[in-house]
Structure 1
């Protein structure tokens, strides 16, 4: 996939401006390449100090860490547009973003599940003991516009978000005690979003999250069996591309496909052809194609039904773990509980209690439907 050439001398990376909100939280403006320098306005709200941190408890039954964040009960929940905390500040709404306009903004969550303290976790905790919920949670606002979605962003703005994800992955990975950096987006009321404004989040976990640990262990077993010459996701990608039955988009650097053993009614994986650990290892050309492919994929997902499709966009990055990282390949898992125009899949007994998924659609039918939507879009363009 190609894009218009950039004129010589034009900046190709976002302009980054850092500031502190009135309670000490970090905020960064990521302005589109070529924009003028920004002198950020001060946060005039005079916020009180940071809220008390939550707790981490160790579940001996599963070996998983559980965050207890009761302070999040008071977080903002679906406010009206004129009180949105992610819109630029106005005289009537002093929001989380002090300036009257911006391109992309990243800031520390005011109601974090993890953090703001940073330190190494012990391997386990005895029953009845807790530790502070260390780590970091950030909010990524994709646009100053209150309505719309990531899939409706212009290419240049979406590309700035990709650079912001890479920047924050590098910065958060360097923080003390961080073991995994996870950018994600919850989209739609049916997913449980608390703000309508188009945005995502980044969690910097002080442990490898359970699902990542499960995937990482499987990847490491394959990697060891191949004596370090192949990866599990790379092998699955090759098989999906050779088959073609579930491939939705196939580019020079990335392929999107519905996995053979998809768990969700709508599930698409977007995988790089080259083995990379996270956003930071992508080349400029790979970021360009990733942006274009992701926007195209989101457009197809929304075009499947008359109304926008709820989804979770989960960017799987290799854990910061010496054993798991070499075998783990960066990729997107885009999932939706929507199984029909007017039906959602709810995780009940088998899925919620046992983790044993039962899919209500076939991956092959979903892939074919997405290809039809993409073809129809090209025909009408």
Structure 2
């Protein structure tokens, strides 16, 4: 029988409760709310669950990639009546959340690329392989099948951040070296479930991109100084000590970063005021993209925080990469980007900042 626990850290002075439930198939489900969750358990099944894939080392790119063939069979754009992220209603179809209501839910991914019990690997002559150990969570923002980070409102975004802080702590404790909360949004990104949700990956080693950032910070790169230089020409505003700005070195048209003005290693180091500001900007940037492109904007968003064991001078950011360069025009990552890693950017960062500021002023 699951019980409600109070999270150690309050957000904006409010209690946050977590109810943890072990699903029939062995995966963990965590329900977060500003009120204790007391809904009775509905029906659930115990289907077999794949336990992660394998990692193979690329000898020329010097990176590890994950291979998870079982993900080919993951749920693909189901009908609204078969939404796996909806609550399980009495007498209705079974979903991933076997309760008839919830505020915010996080559960272990049924089609996980990484898993703490991953063990199977191929033996390949000359190619290093190892089990894809780690963790993969699905984060369901709300029981409603439609919505986004803006429409769910500030209270729910605040609850989301509290839940992410809890999962950072749990994944670091189980040995994940790097934790990446993220959201894929839009068909252009390849989203297969339209119910508003994000994910969290826990890696057993720091990914190459994040390690390069950690090395740059440890080598003396000062993002706080960059923010001071970039604002106000590239800035979209400041809220609660969190700056929103277009990086002068953006790789995507209309790329936006959120970052504490004062250096913080991760959201766990942020003040309540900064977390409030972060919650605000997560919604506001989503709103501005939709207004700018006059459609639900395809975006890739992720939290970039320090690794488990820390990193000297690390400065936490949340980075938004839109997949549109104009209304109805997709920014494709084609041959040059994919083969060389050199991005071609169709919109100058200063122009992007001007356009995104204009959204707030009602000029778009």
Partner of 1:83: 82
Count how many residue pairs are aligned between Structure 1 and Structure 2: 348
Q: Tell me the distance in 2 between the aligned counterparts of 1:354 and 1:13.
A: 48
Partner of 2:61: 62
Residues 298 and 126 (structure 1), Cα distance of their counterparts in 2 relative to 1, 3 Å cut: same
Partner of 1:100: 100
TM-score, length-normalised on structure 2?
0.91
Q: Tell me the distance in 1 between the aligned counterparts of 2:210 and 2:162.
A: 23
Q: After alignment, is 37-46 or 163-172 more displaced?
A: 37-46
Aligned-residue offset at 1:12 = 0.2
Matched ranges for 1:5-44 at <5 A: 12-31=14-33, 33=34, 35=35, 37-39=36-38, 41-42=40-41, 44=43
Q: Is the contact made by 2:52 and 2:118 (CA closer than 8 Å) also made in structure 1?
A: no
Q: Is the contact made by 2:44 and 2:98 (CA closer than 8 Å) also made in structure 1?
A: no
Partner of 1:361: 347
Partner of 1:277: 265
Aligned-residue offset at 1:42 = 3.8
Q: Tell me the distance in 1 between the aligned counterparts of 2:185 and 2:242.
A: 23
Matched, 1:113 2:113: yes
Correspondent of 2:275 among 284, 287, 301: 287
Q: Tell me the distance in 1 between the aligned counterparts of 2:278 and 2:338.
A: 32
Partner of 1:319: 307
Q: Tell me the distance in 1 between the aligned counterparts of 2:203 and 2:269.
A: 20
Q: Tell me the distance in 2 between the aligned counterparts of 1:314 and 1:160.
A: 17
TM-score, length-normalised on structure 1?
0.87
Aligned-residue offset at 1:364 = 0.9
Residues 252 and 38 (structure 1), Cα distance of their counterparts in 2 relative to 1, 3 Å cut: closer
Q: Tell me the distance in 1 between the aligned counterparts of 2:316 and 2:157.
A: 19
Partner of 2:156: 157
Q: Tell me the distance in 1 between the aligned counterparts of 2:250 and 2:212.
A: 16
Partner of 1:309: 297
Q: Is the contact made by 1:266 and 1:337 (CA closer than 8 Å) also made in structure 2?
A: no
Q: Tell me the distance in 1 between the aligned counterparts of 2:285 and 2:230.
A: 17
Q: After alignment, is 199-208 or 274-283 more displaced?
A: 274-283
Residues 153 and 182 (structure 1), Cα distance of their counterparts in 2 relative to 1, 3 Å cut: same
Q: Tell me the distance in 2 between the aligned counterparts of 1:201 and 1:267.
A: 20
Matched ranges for 1:235-274 at <5 A: 235-241=225-231, 244-274=232-262
Residues 264 and 274 (structure 1), Cα distance of their counterparts in 2 relative to 1, 3 Å cut: same
Correspondent of 2:358 among 364, 372, 379: 372
Partner of 1:340: 326
Q: Is the contact made by 1:309 and 1:336 (CA closer than 8 Å) also made in structure 2?
A: yes
Aligned-residue offset at 1:52 = 4.0
Q: Tell me the distance in 2 between the aligned counterparts of 1:167 and 1:136.
A: 14
Aligned-residue offset at 1:40 = 5.0
Matched, 1:191 2:179: no
Q: Tell me the distance in 2 between the aligned counterparts of 1:96 and 1:252.
A: 36
Partner of 1:3: none
Q: Is the contact made by 1:167 and 1:280 (CA closer than 8 Å) also made in structure 2?
A: no
Aligned-residue offset at 1:59 = 1.7
Matched ranges for 1:128-207 at <5 A: 128-176=127-175, 178-207=176-205
Structure 1 residues not aligned, in runs of 5+: 1-9, 120-124, 223-230
Structure 2 residues not aligned, in runs of 5+: 1-11
Q: Tell me the distance in 1 between the aligned counterparts of 2:161 and 2:52.
A: 29
Q: Is the contact made by 1:143 and 1:198 (CA closer than 8 Å) also made in structure 2?
A: yes
- Once the two structures are superposed, residues 113-162 of structure 1 have per-residue CA deviations (whole angstroms, 9 ceiling, x without a partner) of 1013279xxxxx97345322100000000010001111111211111011
What do you get for the CA RMSD once the two structures are aligned? 2.0
Q: Tell me the distance in 2 between the aligned counterparts of 1:130 and 1:40.
A: 44
Aligned-residue offset at 1:192 = 0.6
Aligned-residue offset at 1:232 = 2.2
Aligned-residue offset at 1:234 = 1.7
Partner of 1:234: 224
